[in-house]
A = this chain, B = another copy of it.
Amino acid sequence: MVSIKDVARVAGVSDKTVSRVVNGEPNVTADTIEKVKLAIADLGYIPNLAARSIRSNRSNTIGIVTDFISTTPYSGDIVRGVQDWASANGRTVLLANTDGDPEREANVWRTFKAHRIDGVLHVAMYHRVVAPAAGDVSIPTVLVNSHAADGYTYPSIEPDDYGGSRDLTEHLLALGHRRIGYIRLNPLLLGANQRLDAFLAATQAAGIAEADLVIRLGMEGPIGRETNYVYREALDILSSPSRPTALVCGNDEMALQAYLAALSLGLRVPDDITIVGFDDFRTVSLGLKPELTTVALPYYDLGWQGADMLDQLVQAKGSADERRVLRCLVVARGSSAEATRR
């Protein structure tokens, strides 16, 4: 591998001068810069980051620890946001996955420390509260898509499930819906409660009676291995004589099942029934016909901004207990329409 000294020799200057050029330090003649750059290009010199890291005790590398990347197809976007931030800021991303196994998590931290990582993004694949037990206080950490359990202080960044759900509910109310069904997410998910609470608050504020709401549990059990009642519940809700005019689903995958249930009962979306989801998981939300009205989770931004927060923290410019919440926007598509009087 060609080193800074090779470049120095070819350019006829000292290694330190090459270093100056490479790092854009001042006080180098335009002439010298020229010579050095030429030599660099000729030799195809690329600085050795390991050497730099050992010298400066900073690696310009951040680590991503994910838990259940396997089960959630969304995940990619968070990671992509981080990557893009890193790429735009001259950092590199080290990736590790724990599958939720504490032993593997411990291993991951060892590896990260061995690489003298600047900081870690602890990415939860579903919105929740975490107690990063295996973590290490000595490495700056930002929690993404989660926040710390009571008693821990970690900066964190999360989606505003509550606000998104409120806006979505108001969207339905604005369309004149007054009898609304709701199929809940797995209650273990943080988003589940926030979404339901916002839904209840918004409908109540609009003066809708509890009797006009049909709320069902869509799934329960350990994450990734839950029992799924969605299809059955959707069938049940939709075949009721006092069928609601709109059906809110905990997420887009549930909305998919609601579609299937509705269609198999001969109902049209959105003419007979408005169906909405949550997440804007595009494979589903755009794959459904008509396309699904839903709420977009800002996964990409969660990643990008999370990386940015981490950087602030590494530079010791950020506070250790900042808790940032990102807005979730309603994406109105074809599956929601005005409530028809019946």
Residue total for A at the interface (Cβ-Cβ under 8 A): 56
Chain B contacts of A287 at CB under 8 A? 253, 256-257, 284
On whether the beta carbons of B94 and A111 are closer than 8 Å, the reply is: no
Instruction: List CB contacts (< 8 Å) of A116-171 with chain B.
Output: 116
On whether the beta carbons of A1 and B57 are closer than 8 Å, the reply is: yes
Q: What does the 1/0 interface line of A254-271 toward B look like (CB < 8 Å)? A: 001101110110101000
Nearest B residue to A95, CB-CB: B95
Chain B contacts of A93 at CB under 8 A? 94-96
A154 to chain B, nearest CB (A): 21
Kindly state whether residue A38 has any CB partner on chain B within 8 Å.
no
Nearest B residue to A264, CB-CB: B263
Q: With A69-B76, A115-B50, A263-B260 as given contacts, are A283 and B110 in contact (CB-CB < 8 Å)?
A: no
Q: With A51-B54, A259-B260 as given contacts, are A97 and B80 in contact (CB-CB < 8 Å)?
A: yes
8 Å CB contact of A53 from B47, B50, B264? B50
Chain B contacts of A57 at CB under 8 A? 1
The CA of A92 and the CA of B65, in the complex, are separated in Å by: 12
Kindly state whether residue A340 has any CB partner on chain B within 8 Å.
no
Q: With A263-B260, A266-B266, A283-B281 as given contacts, are A50 and B116 in contact (CB-CB < 8 Å)?
A: yes
Instruction: List CB contacts (< 8 Å) of A265-285 with chain B.
Output: 266, 268, 281, 283-284
The CA of A83 and the CA of B57, in the complex, are separated in Å by: 26
A235 to chain B, nearest CB (A): 10
Nearest B residue to A252, CB-CB: B283
On whether the beta carbons of B76 and A80 are closer than 8 Å, the reply is: no
Chain B contacts of A83 at CB under 8 A? 95-97
Going nearest first, the 8 A-B pairs with the smallest beta carbon separation are A263-B263, A73-B73, A50-B50, A50-B53, A95-B95, A49-B114, A46-B113, A50-B54
Known: A83-B95, A264-B268, A283-B283. 19 other contacts (CB 8 A): A1-B57, A1-B116, A48-B116, A69-B79, A70-B77, A70-B80, A73-B281, A76-B76, A80-B97, A92-B94, A92-B111, A256-B256, A256-B287, A257-B287, A259-B260, A260-B289, A261-B289, A263-B263, A284-B287
